[in-house]
Amino acid sequence: MKSVKGLEESKGPKDLKTSKDLKDLKDLIGELAGIQGPSGSEEQVRAAILEKLEGLADEVKVDALGNVIAVRHGKGPKVMLSAHMDEIGVIVTHIDEKGFLRFAPVGGLNPHRLPGARVAFLNGAIGVIGVEKLEEIKELKFARLYIDIGVTDKAGAEAKVKIGDTAVMWRPMEDLGQRVVAKALDDRIGCAILLEVLRLLKKPMNETYFVFTVEEELGRRGASTSAFGIDPGYGIAVDATITGDTPEAPKVALALGKGPAIKVKDSSLISHPGVRKLLIAAAEEAGVPYQLEVLDFGGNDAGAIHLTRAGVPSGTVSIPIRYVHTPSEMADLDDVAGAIKLLVALLEKPLAI
């Protein structure tokens, strides 16, 4: 691996609830969330993360698929922390004679949440998602949606956008005080957490890999390849999850502001009981309130990591997010700060299960 600038002296964990620390954390989340990075086109996110990694790691590399891998050396076993850089988006499939774009989803999008949403292409073109006239709402499918980029004919559209171009939902981050709303908190919030853990980690007791992965939204592809190359002893994904604290929400025991969630199960993973116990012990040692996450659907990078080679004991630290996979995802900064403290406490001790 190629070395980067000398490792800065770590200042150790501090109170992330002070106004300056919260502002710095919001600024970091807002900056990362505001970058365009649909699955398969994470270049802009990767460039920003590489810049922020300078001085924070002993070694940094970008692998063949585009994952960013930063290492802090320690004497203990290899630990892989993973957060994905990509976000949901759309891809252009057809341009009609009037310049309207037809598109398909890139990742898990719900067509009912899209009419009127704005999208931004990687080249800066902006569009609005429109919908054909419907007799019934059940007719609302992707085939009935289009993107209007403000042109009058096909030639005008093709001057701005080509078949195969991808775009993301476009909204700026809004600061609501203790909470923030933005696109792509899934999973730029995880990327921000990994960067903060790197910054605050005084002396890792384990050989710790901080991996910023590609194409999670398309099937955890970056986690599969990076975990194979690293061959870790333990794997921990840091990602977003749903909540059950809004009117008539799904019956899950997850809410904003009650602490990060430690995963028990989803459709891709039953967390290793030893890893789950380590995460719970770290949370309790750090005085971080936590929730337990049990889902019968979904998955994240840990689902790929734990199946690597002969198997990797794995778990997940999740940030509860309202309105996940929409242009307006909402998170509570207490949950984010708690996840950072939990992970720093975990990594400053030798891991053994």
Q: How confident is the model at residue 134 (pLDDT cuts 50, 70, 90)?
A: confident
1 located within any domain: no
pLDDT tens digit sequence for 23-76: 899 999 999 999 999 999 999 999 999 999 999 999 999 999 999 999 999 998
Q: What's the whole-number mean pLDDT along residues 148-170?
A: 97
What pLDDT sits at residue 9?
39
Range of the domain at 232: 19-87+183-347
Q: Within this chain, do residues 239 and 115 fall inside the same structural domain, yes or no?
A: no
Count how many domains the chain has.
2
What is the model's pLDDT at position 18? 59
- Pick the closest to residue 301 from 238, 229, 232, 346 (CA basis): 238
Q: How confident is the model at residue 130 (pLDDT cuts 50, 70, 90)?
A: very high
Summarize the confidence of residues 5-22 as an average pLDDT: 50
Same domain for 276 and 193? Answer: yes
Domain boundary residue among 143, 169, 195? Answer: 169
109-118 mean pLDDT: 93
- Asked if residue 322 belongs to a domain, the reply is yes
Looking at residue 17, its pLDDT comes to 53
Indicate which residues carry an active-site annotation: 216
N-terminal to C-terminal alpha carbon distance within the chain = 29
Question: 82 and 93 in one domain?
Answer: no
Q: Is position 297 within any domain? A: yes
Please report, for the domain that includes residue 158, its CATH number: 2.40.30.40
Residues facing residue 180 across a β-bridge? 175, 331
Looking at the domain assignment, is residue 11 inside a domain?
Answer: no
For the domain that residue 265 is a member of, what is the CATH number?
A: 3.40.630.10
Same domain, 63 and 191: yes
Neighbour count for residue 292 (Cβ, 10 Å)? 14
Q: What does the angle CA 91 – CA 144 – CA 246 come to, to the nearest 5 degrees? A: 85
Query: Measured between alpha carbons, how far is 145 from 99 in angstroms, rounded to an integer?
Result: 14
Predicted confidence (pLDDT) at residue 13 exceeds the cutoff of 50: no
Angle at 61 between CA 4 and CA 39, to 5 degrees: 130
Co-location of 153 and 298 in the same domain = no
Query: Nearest Cα to 236, choosing from 300, 295, 332, 189?
Result: 300
Which of these, 62, 64, 59, lies nearest to 45 by C-alpha position? 62
Encode pLDDT of 274-290 as tens digits: 999 999 999 999 999 99
Last residue of a domain, one of 145, 169, 193: 169
Residue 142 has pLDDT above 80, yes or no: yes
Do 228 and 207 have their domain in common? yes
Which of 135, 169, 203 terminates a domain? The answer is 169
In a domain, 13, yes or no: no
Whether 165 and 36 have beta carbons less than 8 Å apart is answered as: no
Residues 205, 338 within the same domain: yes
In a domain? residue 352: no
Out of 2-11, 107-116, 194-203, 229-238, least confident range: 2-11
Query: Within this chain, do residues 241 and 302 fall inside the same structural domain, yes or no?
Result: yes
177 is a domain residue? no
Q: What is the mean pLDDT of the chain?
A: 92
Q: Which of 241, 239, 259, 258 is nearest to 250 (CA)?
A: 241
